[in-house]
């Protein structure tokens, strides 16, 4: 029964890992080809390829998840490594520490509360509200927070990535409309509400904006992690 054997092989961790890595490589190729367009995030072709593959091959998501544990494992150490860009940019802070910290905390509270309340006003259930609450944090943190809160981690990942892409495309124009002209504040605002994907756009606009967006991403991840459990007591 060669057909059955081939199908078993196609559903093996080996092939599922190959499809995931292949999709990611295709995404990186697309990103290079488009000169780093904000829509061309390597994660999207990778999720699409793996999502289509497990649907066609009729693989349970739980089985796919354990087959690719080898990849997902590195999310933790990579999150720890976010301290590195923070450390590199810490010297740019002189004379801006107070506005920065206050703005980050205010932004974290606003992001969490408005996301939950808007969803609630439009009839979302509690699980969905929880899943939306951490969407401004960098994706690995949004996933982890949603998990400990009792939301839906895969959706949290998609929400965080989506808002990152929206921000990467529109943020500079929106900041102009909002009359925010200080490059440090511009970078800060984008990093605080749309993490690394937003930050990568600001880095292409201007080095200072990019550095502050990266810094804001790290600090906001921290602020949102600390504030989500506290605000959850009030909101849910």
Partner 1 sequence: MIAGLTWLLAFQVLGEVIVRLLDITVPGPVVGMLLLFVFLRVRRYGDDGSIVRAGSALLRHLQLFFVPAGVGIVVYLGMLRDHALPIAASLLGSWLIGLAVVGWTAVGLERLLGKPHDDLPGPAGEEAP
Contact partners, residue 102, CB within 8 Å, separation at least 6: none
Helix axes 183-205, 97-121, angle to 10 degrees: 80
d(CA 59, CA 23) in angstroms, rounded, equals: 17
Q: In 3D, which of 94, 87, 97, 20 has the Cα closest to residue 52?
A: 20
CB of 2 to partner 1, least distance (A): 28
Quick count: other Cβ atoms within 10 Å of Cβ 110?
13
Site for partner 1 in 163-222 (CB under 8 A): 163, 166-167, 171, 174-176, 178-186, 188-190, 192-194, 196, 208, 216, 218, 221-222
59-118 positions binding partner 1, by CB under 8 A: 61, 64-65, 68-69, 71-72, 74-88, 90, 95-96, 98-100, 102-104, 106-107, 110-111, 114-116, 118
Q: Give the range of 3-11, 32-40, 128-136 binding partner 1 by CB under 8 A.
A: 128-136
Which of 163, 161, 75, 54 minimizes the C-alpha distance to 115?
163
- CA dist 3 → 19, 27, 83, 192 (Å): 19, 30, 49, 51
Q: How far apart are CA 165 and CA 65, in angstroms?
A: 25
In terms of CB distance, is 163 or 211 closer to partner 1?
Answer: 163
| Distance in Å, CB of 131 to partner 1, minimum | 9
Interacting residue with partner 1 among 143, 202, 211, 215 (CB under 8 A): 143
Q: Which residues ranging from 7 to 66 are in contact with partner 1 (CB under 8 A)? A: 20-21, 23-24, 27, 41-43, 46-47, 50-51, 54-55, 61, 64-65
Give the nearer residue to partner 1 in terms of CB position, either 4 or 37.
Answer: 37
Q: Are 64 and 55 in contact (CB under 8 A)?
A: no
Among 139, 201, 202, 203, the residue binding partner 1 under the rule CB under 8 A is 139
**Interface with partner 1 includes 234 (CB under 8 A)?**
no
């Amino acid at each position: 029964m060669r057909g059955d054997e081939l199908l078993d092989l196609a559903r093996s961790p080996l092939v599922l890992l190959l499809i995931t890595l292949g999709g990611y490589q295709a995404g990186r190729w697309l990103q290079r080809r488009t000169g780093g367009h904000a829509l061309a995030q390597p994660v999207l072709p990778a999720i699409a390829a793996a999502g289509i593959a497990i649907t066609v091959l009729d693989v349970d998501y739980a089985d796919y998840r354990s087959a690719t544990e080898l990849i997902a494992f590195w999310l933790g150490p990579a999150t720890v490594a976010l301290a590195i860009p923070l450390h590199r940019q810490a010297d740019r802070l002189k004379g801006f520490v107070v506005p920065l910290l206050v703005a980050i905390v205010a932004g974290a509270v606003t992001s969490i509360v408005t996301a939950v309340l808007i969803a609630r006003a439009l009839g979302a259930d509690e699980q969905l509200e929880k899943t939306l609450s951490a969407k401004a944090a960098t994706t690995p943190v949004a996933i982890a927070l949603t998990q400990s809160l009792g939301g839906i981690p895969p959706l949290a990942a998609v929400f965080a990535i989506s808002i990152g892409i929206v921000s990467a495309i529109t943020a500079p124009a929106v900041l102009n409309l909002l009359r925010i002209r200080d490059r440090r504040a511009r970078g800060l605002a984008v990093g605080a509400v749309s993490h690394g994907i937003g930050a990568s756009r600001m880095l292409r606009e201007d080095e200072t904006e990019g550095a502050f967006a990266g810094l804001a991403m790290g600090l906001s991840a921290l602020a949102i992690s600390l504030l989500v459990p506290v605000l959850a007591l009030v909101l849910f």
